[in-house]
Amino acid sequence: MRRSVVVLSFFVSSLSALSQECLPDGFEGPSYFDTYHELYDKPAKWNVYNVHDPSVYKDGDWYYMYNTDVGMGYTSGSGAMKRRSQDLVNWEYLGHAFDGIPDTARNFFLQYNPDYTDAGIWAPFISKYKDEFRLYYSAPGGLEGVNLAFIGWATSSSADGPWESQGGITTSIPDDTINAIDPTVVIDQETGQHWMAYGSYQSGLYIVELDSTTGGLKTPGDRGVRIAARGGGMHAAIEGPEITYHDGYYYLFVSYDWLEDYYNVRVGRSEHPNGPYYDIFGVDMAEYSNNFPVILKPYQFNDHVGWQGTGHCSVYNDSGQYYIFNQARPRGDIYNMVLHTRKIFWIDGWPVVSPERYAAVPECDIPADSLVGEWEEMELKYVVGILLTGSTTITLDAEGTIDGDLMSAWTLQDSLLTLSWDDGNSVFKTLVAWAWDWENSVRTLVFTGMDNEGLNIWGKKINHQAVSRHTELIPGAAYSIRSRYSNLLMEVRDGEDNIGTSIRQGKDDGGLNQVWRIVQYEDGDWSLVAEHSVDNKVIEVPDGDPAATFLELGAFTGEDKQKFDIRYTDNGYFKILTKVSDYAKCFDLYGFSVLETGFISQWDDLGGTNQGWRFTRIDSLGADNSLNFESPVLTDARVYPNPFLNEIHVDLSGGLQLQRAELINSLGQVVFSSETRAETRTSLEVPAFLSGQFYLLKMYTNKGVLIKPMLKR
């Protein structure tokens, strides 16, 4: 895909002054899941979940966020949802700013809709003037297909409230072409004038002057002037204005398209808060046009389902570091509304945003040689019919070339990474930074920037070791297996080790009953071995019945009922198909359960999110390559007693001969080794000084190696 490029001759000199790379010890990034089905009715645990149209302001040590009243399958009341955070990563849900809709809004709606009931608050905006916090909000009038809306405001001495309603700013009535929703306020840096931008769809976005002293409308009845509109006429999708000041310009962020799918953020700028605003091509945004650049849109990094609905942003200047906040929805689970927070950087006077969400990764030096390697790269092109922007792989070579092409080049000067293509006709200026790779749970490098025509570009360095933990299956390795739908782990119920015990799901508690060894057969199928089982029991389809529903634990026999085709689906998840169904059925979270102890079943492969499974390799447990279920070892050997005292007995059959035995302690040390005679019954005398603990008995036979967990009394 990449283009031919001229190599830049000054690359070598930029390597001569490398700084020491900072590697913070013990940094662990956040571990939020993409969905929250299991938390839908637990507001205290919502954190970054159920967030739409956020607005953030810092008061003391706390960042406060207000957002639209939303809920995925659950109604928690109305009145503008409220949260707080001390690090912009972990958020505490605090309830609502108001107890429902303020009376001024309710009374206005009743004039036009006598059947009005509380429809919640949309897009609250928090700001501060002198010692007073002001919360602007909008509310819909509850008439289907009718433009009926209200913008009001309230005040408080604290960002936390309580809030005292101050009345209304502006309204929309039926047949109005201006939609009174989505308020945002900006203060003129020179004159001190207060301006409120608002609007959605219809005739576009407007800005009107406020009274700085009260926070209310300066001129009664004033609707303001249009500052942005969308090409396509009266019903083109544009909404969610946000204005921030930076280095001599006021930047107007707007959202295009429907909030559940193509939602994307664009930006223009002006020397005055009330406009006019121009995009990067000099087009007046008040015209019915499509404006650029696109700085945030639906996207998909490798090994992830991707994010859509990435719009309606808020921007906050935190002592010179700007952040952008918006909602996003995981593909396939679009009713899950998740807060995304990103750092904003500035290239040639225009904002660009980090490819990865903010995770408070320590800021460290970035020497040029740390950029060498493979990267995922994506250009934020808006193409009708293509929802998610995907990535391609490029390699930044140590010699300063790209993909080994002598006609391509990259250079790093401080944090400015320059990528050049087409003999220098296409040049991207980007800024590189440390970030958290949310798709693979590892610290990595990212870049973000744009070319001279405003096309934004993102990059993320690939950590192949981290990727492999979730995408590659290694025979004998141990894995946790997490449901895509419930985020709970596949486990053996209550840690039992009995034949017929059901396979369920449970909260991650670190138990071995939630760990599975995977063993591969010559035909490519796999078995799932319960790590906690003393005799390596496996998951099986009961009686090998293709019509059976619930999966259970069984003694290994090597039959088809214990064989599965585990297929990677290229989005971070696997599906597990059963051989007894001729691979037409797969592991299924029964009934889309979000409860602990929910059953794991065999069901028709319908591609549902409850049939996706996230495998995570547990490297600390190592790989057990001796687990070879195609040999007769497990069925032709019996080891007893367990727990043992000072003697272990091994019964052999089927021509199996024991050649040597070892006891290995929990540190991996061989504490006992014995040469034995080739006979069918063997007694192993174990040193009496061994303490009571867990051991592995490793038996070398003429047909392979057998490992049995053993306990010493």
Q: Pick from 616, 710, 623: which is nearest to 666 by CA?
A: 710
Q: Show Cβ contacts of residue 541 under 8 Å, excluding neighbours closer than 6 positions.
A: 548, 551, 561, 562, 578, 580, 581, 602
Which of these, 202, 127, 109, lies nearest to 163 by C-alpha position?
A: 127
DSSP, residue by residue, 644-696: BSSEEEEEE-TT--EEEEEEE-TTS-EEEEEE--S-SEEEEEPPTT--SSEEE
Pairing of strands 249-256, 264-270: antiparallel
Joined together, the tokens standing for residue 35 give 């969905």
From the number of C-beta atoms within 10 Å of its C-beta (0-12, 13-18, 19+), residue 615 rates as buried
Say which amino acid occupies 373. Answer: G
Q: Coil, strand or helix: which one is 15?
A: helix
Catalytic hit among 38, 69, 182, 239: 239
Q: Are strands 564-568 and 552-554 parallel, antiparallel or unpaired?
A: unpaired
Asked if residues 81 and 69 have their Cβ atoms less than 8 Å apart, the reply is: yes
Round to whole Å and give the CA distance between 601 and 599.
Answer: 6
In this structure, what token pair is assigned to residue 160? 């936390």
53, 242, 605, 624: which one is catalytic? Answer: 53
CA-only gyration radius of the chain, Å:
31
Q: How many Å apart are CA 28 and CA 49, to the nearest integer?
A: 21
Q: Is 198 exposed, middle or buried (0-12, 13-18, 19+ CB in 10 A)?
A: buried
* Count of beta carbons in the 10 Å neighbourhood of residue 263: 26
CB 532 within 8 A of CB 513: yes
Would you say 85 and 125 are in contact if contact means Cβ atoms under 8 Å apart? no
User: What CA–CA distance (Å, rounded) separates 499 from 480?
Assistant: 21
Task: Respond yes or no: is residue 28 known to be catalytic.
Answer: no
First-to-last C-alpha distance (Å) of the chain: 64
Amino acid type, 32: Y
Instruction: Extract the runs of DSSP E, i.e. beta strands, from 456-496.
Output: 456-461, 478-483, 489-492
Under DSSP, the state recorded for 692 is: S
Q: Is 239 a catalytic residue?
A: yes
340 φ, ψ to 5°? Answer: -115, 130
- Cα 295–224–207 angle (5° rounding)? 25
CA angle 201, 203, 205 (to 5 degrees): 70
- Which tokens sit at 661? 């035995």
Q: Which residues contact 52 (CB under 8 A, 6 or more apart)?
A: 67, 68, 70, 259, 312, 327, 337
Sheet of strand 164-172, all strands in order from the earlier edge strand to the far edge? 122-129, 132-140, 149-156, 164-172
Question: Alpha-carbon distance 69 to 40, whole Å?
Answer: 14
Catalytic residues: 53, 239
